[in-house]
Chains A and B, each alone.
Chain A
């Protein structure tokens, strides 16, 4: 059974720092890995999707990498801002249209 973990559980950094969030999964037979952002009391917003054949995806200050063989993904946030404060979750799916398994999330606080 697929299990997804995220380290650290919480992170507090001063504004302007570059940071890395980690996601690990136990079964490397994945179709997609997706990173989400969740603000308190809100739904999840998709940040980046990495398909199994890809190694990384970039969007603005965000870069996500995928190493399927080691079961790891990282989300790199450059020049962090207070508006980046949120919970970040990663999720993997075994095939197109199949259920996504979620990690518990990393709660990020960026201090002004």
Chain B
């Protein structure tokens, strides 16, 4: 089945540590996105990539980094510079004739 796989589902991190969230898609989509969701708030864009080896900052990119070495993969690193990293992180992709947006199941990061 085609879809977007995020891992891990739950992640705990100590302050000062970097962590990397994985996002893999087998939909053959060109564009991929990372969003952050906090309780009571809408989705906010962290980074997006429209093509391999290229990506753009979103509204809240500070303290995050990404890479896009393969079409299928768009990992997100939450660095120690991110002041408030505890959140629900969602990866998405678009493609096909319509540009419909599809999401993975999300990764919940908790900083201890």
Contacts and interface: CB of A to CB of B under 8 A. Distances in A.
Interface of A: 4, 31-32, 34, 36, 41-46, 49, 51, 89, 91, 93, 96-97, 99-100, 102-105
B28 to A, nearest CB: 13
Contacts of B35: 102
B42 interface: yes
Contacts of A43: 6, 90, 103-106
Q: Interface majority SS on A: helix, strand, loop or mixed?
A: strand
10 contacts: A34-B101, A41-B88, A43-B6, A49-B100, A89-B42, A97-B31, A100-B33, A100-B92, A100-B101, A102-B35
Interface string B69-97: 00000000000000000001010101100
B30 interface: yes
Nearest to A91: B101
A37 to B, nearest CB: 11
Contacts of A49: 98, 100
Interface of B: 6, 30-31, 33, 35, 41-43, 45, 48, 50, 58, 88, 90, 92, 94-95, 98-106, 108
A73 B41 CA distance: 20
Contacts of B42: 4, 89, 102-105
A1 to B, nearest CB: 10
Given A41-B108, A97-B31, A99-B33, A46 B45 contact: no
A102 B43 contact: yes
A42 B101 contact: no
Contacts of A96: 94, 99
